[in-house]
Amino acid sequence: MLTVLKFGGTSVKDAEAFKRTSDIIISTDGKKVVVVSALAGITDDLTNIISALDRQNYERAKETIGSVSLKHKQVIADLDLSNDCDLFLEIKISELKLLIEAVEILGELTGKSKDLILSFGECMSSTMLADILSKNGIKAKQKEAGELIITDSEFTEATVLFDQTNEACSCECKKMFDTNDVIVAGGFIASDVRGRRTTLGRGGSDYSASVIAAAIKADRLEIWTDVDGILTSDPHLVKSARLVTELSYIEASELAFFGAKVLHPKTIRPAINAQIPVVVKNSYNPGGPGTVIVNKAVDCSIIKAIAYRKDVTVINIRSNRMLGAYGFLSKVFEIFKKHETSVDLVTTTEVSISLTIDDETKIYEVKKDLEEFSSVEIFRDKAIISAIGEGIRETAGIAARFFNVLKGINVSMVSVGASEVNLSIVIEQPHLDQAVIGLHEEFFGDLGESDLFRKTGESK
Ligand code: ADP
Ligand code: ASP
Ligand code: MG
């Protein structure tokens, strides 16, 4: 049995969480690769350091390094980890300080420097986790994630190069498993073909784990987080959200793309390719059933969850008919490609397109180019709500129930994804909470006892 287990930041947020996590690893049979995130909040701190450097506020950057160092020192002391761990922390903190001095002297903050800063959190957490496992008598060793996952050189949002990664992972893990039972790697971090540190984008540790699981042909991928699994909606907004015990790959993948933060959007694809079952579980309730993600949907007559995304911008583009209908659509998408702005939802007629984006960095360049052949309107403060489930393809009446709940709320776009397991709408952000809670009540308010939709907090 070969398992890849991924633990998010909340599963290593303090000494207690580290202990719970190491107990879960120890009680899992067979060989294991463990992928771990930075301690909760640390990547945010590192991002703040980068923002301070961007503003040339070097004092602020140094202060934040001080508090990052203290947070780790505390957990290392609470866990009574080895002197090597303390020493490693000191070395890494000195490296960060040196890097900041270099940025100050050069007056330049590059993507390469950003990734060196961002990767600090996972370098530390993986070293600490390997140390606590060894202390418990487990043959565990930390592995530099950059030797496992190889990417292009798009610093801070790198793309995995699968041929090189598959070879590196299978070769390196095979070697290490000769003498170890557990390999611990930091999530989110990788390196380019020249060995320079890269990162996979925020929340990318889930993706690291699935890339490694696919590369080493693991029997199972477990994503351990701070909620019981994938729920019928975000539990922070919908208090009565239920655990969905089984989802298909496609349902889980659409949920992740449409805002369920519990999984990074890219996580599912490598698992599908390698046909690895994925399980999402709660490290605070390890006895719970979690969500199992497999090939085929268990019930195709219902929706499984409601996801949402905030801070979405809608762009309406109307052709001024300088181009033929086919020329119009392709020209529009060429412009988004040119400015590397990804489009989420699209609805079209022959002469107009409405689409949504959530990264506004290049919006003015996009607008300027579009205005050469069309009129453009931009609307901000929108939100997307998506109902996800294979039932949308198979069952009549779901859309009617969906829109019935939204009576009185202005819906500015409607889209049924090509996968047909996703019905998405765009509304004004201030109506979001009311709409999500209302939709959840409509589809999940009356479940009673159900094996597919379990109450949270239950153990098996
Ligand atoms: P980790 O640190 O383990 O990667 P994340 O914070 O990235 O954890 O993801 C877990 C969080 O995702 C949950 O605490 C929850 O607030 C949020 N979330 C949003 N939608 C869902 C959903 N449908 N099911 C479960 N969690 C969700
Ligand atoms: N630590 C990184 C982040 O917070 C990656 C991850 O946790 O998945 O974004
Ligand atoms: Mg996450």
For 301-345, write each residue's pLDDT tens digit. Answer: 789 999 999 999 999 999 987 666 678 888 999 999 999 999 999
Q: List pLDDT tens digits, range 142-193.
A: 999 999 999 999 999 999 999 999 999 999 999 999 999 999 999 999 999 9
364 C-alpha to center of ligand 2: Å?
A: 30
Q: List pLDDT tens digits, range 353-391.
A: 999 998 999 999 999 999 999 999 999 999 999 999 998
The whole-number pLDDT of residue 322 equals: 65
Q: Relative to the CA of 231, which ligand 1 atom is closest?
A: 24
223 C-alpha to center of ligand 1: Å?
A: 11
**From the CB of 231, is ligand 1 less than 6 Å away?**
yes
Q: Which amino acid is at 226?
A: D
Q: Relative to the CA of 306, which ligand 1 atom is closest?
A: 23
The whole-number pLDDT of residue 95 equals: 97
Q: Which two tokens stand for residue 318?
A: 């109307």
Could you give the CA distance from residue 238 to residue 434 in angstroms, rounded to a whole number? 10
75 C-alpha to center of ligand 3: Å?
A: 21
Burial class (CB in 10 A: 0-12, 13-18, 19+), 81: buried
The whole-number pLDDT of residue 301 equals: 79
Q: Give the fold, CATH level 3, of 11-194.
A: Carbamate kinase (3.40.1160)
φ/ψ of 92, rounded to 5, equals -65, -40
The whole-number pLDDT of residue 297 equals: 78
Q: Largest Cα–Cα distance in the chain? A: 72
Instruction: Delimit the domains of the chain by residue range.
Output: 11-194, 305-444
The whole-number pLDDT of residue 393 equals: 83
With the most atoms of ligand 2 within 8 angstroms of its CB, the residue from 122, 188, 211, 262 to mutate is 188
Q: Is the pLDDT of residue 110 over 90?
A: yes
DSSP of 214-228: HHTT-SEEEEEESSS
The whole-number pLDDT of residue 323 equals: 64
- 8 A C-beta contact, residue 68 and residue 46: yes
Q: List pLDDT tens digits, range 420-450.
A: 899 999 999 999 999 999 999 999 998 888 9
Could you give the CA distance from residue 457 to residue 460 in angstroms, rounded to a whole number? 10
Could you give the CA distance from residue 434 to residue 339 in angstroms, rounded to a whole number? 35
Q: Is the pLDDT of residue 230 over 80?
A: yes
Q: Among candidates 22, 29, 33, 7, which has minimal Cα distance to 212?
A: 33
Q: Look up the CATH number of domain 305-444.
A: 3.30.2130.10
Burial class (CB in 10 A: 0-12, 13-18, 19+), 445: exposed
Could you give the CA distance from residue 225 to residue 231 in angstroms, rounded to a whole number? 12
Region at 350 (left for phi over 0; alpha for psi -120 to 50; beta for the rest): alpha
